[in-house]
Amino acid sequence: MKPLIFALCVAFACGSLSAQKSVWQPSPGHAQMPIWPGAAPDQQPVAGPEFAETSGKSDLVAGRPMVGVSNVTRPTMTIYSPKGKNTGAAIVVFPGGGYQGLAIDLEGTEVCDWLTPKGITCVLLKYRVTNVGPYPKSGPYPESPMALEDAQRTMGLLRLHAAKWHIDPHKIGVLGFSAGGHLSAAISTHFAKRLYPPVDAADKESCRPDFAVAIYPGHLSLSAAEWDARQGVKRFVVPHSPAADIHLGLNPEVPVTSRTPPTFLLQAEDDHVDSADDSLAYYIALRNAGVPVEMHLYAQGGHAFGLRRTKYPITGWPQLVETWMGTIGMISE
């Protein structure tokens, strides 16, 4: 499987972010809540404390810097509740960052700024990631279970406390970007059993999302060479050019079934970090399993644009998601 490392992750690893380090905090009026009452399961040592950095002039998105968080060992969730109308729907947001950092504003808080005026509760998950030092790096499940454990735990907490946070427990979805897009798929296919021993009543609640949104996701397809290395796995062949074919195969660690929730996929063909193969392979598997799925594939847009407006039509995707949520009954059309 090809590695998932987008620009923010590269910036973390190569030190192209500015030297100003801090600890990320949500905007006033919002508090981070630890999702584990004690030590998180499968914790890995890291070389230093959690920190946040702002990108420099060479790493701008739509002309603006972005904030990345690294070395997350104490996962938290921050709840952004609607201030006016409340549809009852909620979305857990998974920022991307190659499972080695989190684009906490570009693919986190800015998503909440979009959702809450629409009457949707936004739950920003700061899941565990690390990429510093001699210790094992975090990664996608099953390479590393930490992020998926954090996602499962958060879904249980939301359902347990749904009344307190004015959430409909049957309208809780997930939305992720890049590595976070993979995490959306991972929890959509790994919800029957917790990866960790139950901690409390939250872990008795279902952690299956009611719907999922994956924006330029990665880790979902296998290359032709990887297909050839696996025996007995069906290969999807899509015509690509007169001289060659793209061989699309779903990553077997994302076992789609008819119980996988309705899913929305968005991808740009010129994304050179997570190619369209990832979204296409997942789309085909969902369709074949009878799962309601909607996919939008654009010619241009690249990678890691979040909700920031650019000259490309793909940046109109939030309206597409709102319309889709209406069609599946999560909000009023």
Residue 154 is part of which domain span?
7-327
pLDDT at 141: 96
Asked whether residue 164 is assigned to any structural domain, the reply reads yes
Q: Is the pLDDT of residue 11 over 80?
A: no
Q: Collect all residues with Cβ–Cβ distance below 8 Å to 222 and sequence separation of at least 6.
A: 1, 230, 233, 249, 250, 251, 252, 281
pLDDT at 222: 82
Q: Is the pLDDT of residue 18 over 70?
A: no
pLDDT digits (tens, 9 = 90+) for 302-313: 999 999 999 999
Q: Is the pLDDT of residue 136 over 90?
A: no
Q: Is the pLDDT of residue 323 over 50?
A: yes
Helices 179-189 and 146-160: crossing angle in degrees, nearest 10, is 60
Distance CA 83, CA 51 (A): 30
pLDDT digits (tens, 9 = 90+) for 147-173: 999 999 999 999 999 999 999 999 999
| Domain CATH number, residue 107 | 3.40.50.1820
Asked whether residue 93 is assigned to any structural domain, the reply reads yes
pLDDT digits (tens, 9 = 90+) for 234-260: 555 555 443 345 567 899 999 999 999
Asked whether residue 333 is assigned to any structural domain, the reply reads no
Q: What distances in angstroms separate CA 52 from CA 28, 71, 72, 184, one per listed residue? A: 17, 9, 10, 24
pLDDT at 46: 85
Asked whether residue 227 is assigned to any structural domain, the reply reads yes
Asked whether residue 1 is assigned to any structural domain, the reply reads no
pLDDT at 22: 86
Distance CA 207, CA 326 (A): 22
Asked whether residue 81 is assigned to any structural domain, the reply reads yes
pLDDT at 132: 62
Contact 269, 300 (CB under 8 A): yes
Count up the domains in the chain and report the number. 1
Helices and strands: H and E segment counts in the chain: 7, 15
More confident of the two residues 210 and 45: 210
Asked whether residue 155 is assigned to any structural domain, the reply reads yes
Cis peptide before 136 (omega within 30 of 0): no
Asked whether residue 2 is assigned to any structural domain, the reply reads no
Write down the mean pLDDT value for the chain. 89
Q: Collect all residues with Cβ–Cβ distance below 8 Å to 17 and sequence separation of at least 6.
A: 11, 53, 54, 55, 56, 59, 68
